């Protein structure tokens, strides 16, 4: 499966705090593409807008019990007939940062 990225995803990667965190985010995408890991389906929420076609994965290079980062991705054109895995956004858990970035990178409005 091909791996693509939304406009804005590279800026999200660059905004992560260090090399280890950036590498882990990209490694997680590879694991998803290879079918070794699967995230949780997102939905539409007032605080984040409609991310119902996306999935989230929690990660943290420190291995903490409450991972500090979220990776948002989706299958294109859809989950059933997917030809590509699209990296949508990555960011911190705090203040819904990753989901706000996802809405922005998808060009959508919050509800």
Task: Walk along the chain (111 residues) and give the pLDDT tens digit of each residue.
Answer: 899 999 999 999 999 999 999 999 999 999 999 999 999 999 988 888 899 999 999 999 998 889 999 999 999 988 888 889 999 999 999 999 999 999 999 999 776
* Distance (Å, whole) CA 110 – CA 23: 29
Sign for the pseudo-dihedral over CA of 78, 83, 89, 92: positive
Burial per residue of 11-38, b for 16 or more beta-carbon CB atoms within 10 angstroms, e otherwise: ebbeebeeeebbebbeebbeebbeeeee
User: What's the N-to-C CA distance of the chain in angstroms?
Assistant: 32
Which residue intervals of 1-111 are DSSP H helices? 9-15, 19-33, 97-106
């Amino acid at each position: 499966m091909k791996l693509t990225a939304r406009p804005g995803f590279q800026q999200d990667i660059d905004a992560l705090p260090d090399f280890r965190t950036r590498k882990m985010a990209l490694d997680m995408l590879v694991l998803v593409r290879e079918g070794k890991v699967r995230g949780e389906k997102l939905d539409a929420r007032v605080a984040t807008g409609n991310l119902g076609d996306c999935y989230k994965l929690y990660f943290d290079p420190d291995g903490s019990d409450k991972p500090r980062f979220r990776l948002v991705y989706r299958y294109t054109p859809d989950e059933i007939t997917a030809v590509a895995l699209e990296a949508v956004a990555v960011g911190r858990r705090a203040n819904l940062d990753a989901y706000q970035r996802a809405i922005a990178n998808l060009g959508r409005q919050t509800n």
